[in-house]
Amino acid sequence: MSSPPARSLHDLGFSELVAVLAADGVILHHAKVLWRTLHGEGELNLAGRAFLPPLKRWVEKSVGEGKAFFLDAPEVVDEIHSSDGLTRKFLLRLRDGQTIETVLMGYQGRQTVCVSTQAGCAMGCVFCATGQMGFVRHLRPGEIVAQVLHARRVLKTIDPKKRLRNMVLMGMGEPLHNYDSVMLALETISDRRGPGIGPTKIAISTVGVVPSILRLAEEQRPYRLAVSLHGSTEEERAALVPASKRWSLAMLIDACRKYGEITGKRIFFEWTLIAGKNDSPETARRLVELLRGIDAHINLIPLNPTGGFAGTQSESGHEFQKILIAGGFPCTFRQRRGIDVAAGCGMLKAEKRARTGCGL
Ligand code: SAH
Ligand code: SF4
């Protein structure tokens, strides 16, 4: 009989890890030690640890190449630093050779990690480098957790006193298209014995997967929600976000209203400003009407130019902002200071592909 395929130890939630060890006769105390070692310390060399004999024996028997479990330890294949030194972007290679981007940002004393949730993305937004690559596969929970552990290790080398306390799911991929793996990963990431990022410091950004937005509300998930809107009419949005043909703007706004009613939480709306596409004063006025009654904060994002689109001139951007503020909505520009090289989502990977001719 062939043995089941190996699994990532980082894929297991706490209760599953406890159950796996218990099935091999290893008691709860050791499971807690292993959990803290893996997720609290981010240790990747379990064989080198001085565990008590029952856990040591289990690790020797079960973890490693050719054994029941492996560790998610992505390899850094490229790394860029912003000129102000506050942002580091990593291109990480997964076990099957796929590459994803993870960003560590350190503005205003706040350390934030931006993670990917898929290799590629199926949603095809026309201004997004990841969308233009197409969908490859979902990331497993362990591959999402591993990005946070990587960022924490890097931060420790920069300044051991700094803590990673914020997380945004705004890297490659659509988090709500990979719902179960993302939720499992976030439970691990927000666990106090693990990375311990507070759930209210975790923002899930979605292009508008309507059923999953409602599910987040019904399941009372404690995270923040950010919705990438980019259009004030069905036509305007559909020209930029093909996914809106499946979940229309009307359905999305309706889901956002329900989300607000059920959770009582504010929703963050993201708006990438693209010259001549969604940056006119009329669009801003329509947006005010569209969002009326929703507890909303609007984040304006300067475009990282890709695919022939141009970013909005700063004057028009500020005019746009003024209209939203006058309409009663808090509205800020996404800070982009320092994210100056291959900055947008998917752009480092696309650039590396162009440089090396590599197909990953
Ligand atoms: N799929 C999710 C999360 C990843 S994209 C989503 O779409 O929300 C994170 C954010 O980056 C989104 O708001 C997206 O619209 C924005 N984005 C993508 N490409 C961009 C670009 N070239 N310039 C500026 N923002 C971009
Ligand atoms: Fe996917 Fe988000 Fe890029 Fe759209 S913006 S293609 S949803 S990653």
Name the closest-CA residue to atom 5, ligand 1: 170
Domain limit, last residue, from 47, 70, 93? 70
pLDDT digits (tens, 9 = 90+) for 300-317: 999 998 888 999 999 999
pLDDT band of residue 336 (cuts 50, 70, 90) is: low
Longest dimension (CA), the chain: 69
Residue 121 CA: nearest ligand 2 atom is: 1
Domain limit, last residue, from 21, 40, 70? 70
Give Cα separations from 173 to 139, 183, 316, 353 (angstroms).
9, 15, 29, 18
The ligand that comes nearest to the alpha carbon of residue 336 is: 1
Is the pLDDT at 321 greater than 70? The verdict is: yes
Name the closest-CA residue to atom 10, ligand 1: 170
Q: Evaluate: CB of 290 within 6 angstroms of ligand 1.
A: no
| CA 62 to centroid of ligand 1, rounded, Å | 40
282 and 261 inside one domain: yes
Residue 311 CA: nearest ligand 1 atom is: 23
pLDDT digits (tens, 9 = 90+) for 110-122: 999 999 999 999 9
Stretch 92-101: mean pLDDT: 97
Q: Is residue 2 part of a domain?
A: no
Q: Is residue 21 part of a domain?
A: yes
The ligand that comes nearest to the alpha carbon of residue 124 is: 2
Name the closest-CA residue to atom 4, ligand 1: 170
82 and 55 inside one domain: no
117 and 11 inside one domain: no
88 and 42 inside one domain: no
pLDDT band of residue 339 (cuts 50, 70, 90) is: very low
Helix (H, G, I), strand (E, B) or coil at 206: strand
pLDDT digits (tens, 9 = 90+) for 200-250: 999 999 999 999 999 999 999 999 999 999 999 999 999 999 999 999 999
Q: Evaluate: CB of 345 within 6 angstroms of ligand 1.
A: yes
Q: Is residue 55 part of a domain?
A: yes
Is the pLDDT at 341 greater than 90? The verdict is: no
Residues contacting ligand 2 via CB (< 6 Å): 121, 123-125, 128, 130-131, 173-174, 207, 228, 345
- Residue 238 has which token pair? 């559909």
**Average pLDDT, rounded, for the chain:** 93
Residue 205 CA: nearest ligand 1 atom is: 8
pLDDT digits (tens, 9 = 90+) for 142-200: 999 999 999 999 999 999 999 999 999 999 999 999 999 999 999 999 999 999 999 99
17 and 115 inside one domain: no
224 and 191 inside one domain: yes
Q: Evaluate: CB of 202 within 6 angstroms of ligand 1.
A: no
Is the pLDDT at 36 greater than 90? The verdict is: yes
Is the pLDDT at 10 greater than 90? The verdict is: yes
The pLDDT of residue 344 is 59
Stretch 32-47: mean pLDDT: 98
66 and 79 inside one domain: no
Is the pLDDT at 51 greater than 80? The verdict is: yes
Q: Evaluate: CB of 272 within 6 angstroms of ligand 1.
A: yes
Mutate to test the pocket of ligand 1, among 176, 179, 345, 347 (most ligand atoms within 8 A of CB): 345
Domain limit, last residue, from 70, 99, 114? 70
Q: Evaluate: CB of 228 within 6 angstroms of ligand 1.
A: yes
Q: Is residue 306 part of a domain?
A: yes
The pLDDT of residue 352 is 67
Q: Which domain holds residue 88?
A: 75-356
| CA 110 to centroid of ligand 1, rounded, Å | 21
Stretch 75-102: mean pLDDT: 94
The answer to whether 309 and 275 have CB atoms below 8 angstroms apart is yes
Above pLDDT 70, what percent of the chain? 92
Q: Is residue 309 part of a domain?
A: yes
54 and 178 inside one domain: no
pLDDT band of residue 353 (cuts 50, 70, 90) is: low
pLDDT band of residue 294 (cuts 50, 70, 90) is: very high
236 Cβ neighbours under 8 A, 6+ residues apart: 277, 278, 283
51 and 83 inside one domain: no
| CA 144 to centroid of ligand 1, rounded, Å | 18
Assign residue 212 the CATH number of its domain. Answer: 3.20.20.70
Give Cα separations from 178 to 97, 138, 174, 209, 214 (angstroms).
20, 6, 7, 10, 15
327 and 203 inside one domain: yes
Q: Is residue 113 part of a domain?
A: yes
pLDDT band of residue 340 (cuts 50, 70, 90) is: very low
Q: Evaluate: CB of 120 within 6 angstroms of ligand 1.
A: no
Name the closest-CA residue to atom 8, ligand 1: 206
110 and 61 inside one domain: no
285 and 346 inside one domain: yes
Residue 128 CA: nearest ligand 2 atom is: 3
Stretch 333-348: mean pLDDT: 60
Q: In this predicted structure, which of 127-131, 230-234, 336-340 has the lowest mean pLDDT? A: 336-340
Q: Is residue 1 part of a domain?
A: no
Phi then psi dihedrals of residue 344, to 5 deg: -70, 165
The answer to whether 114 and 102 have CB atoms below 8 angstroms apart is yes
Q: Is residue 99 part of a domain?
A: yes
Give me the number of domains the chain comprises. 2
Residues identified as active-site: 101, 345
| CA 37 to centroid of ligand 1, rounded, Å | 34
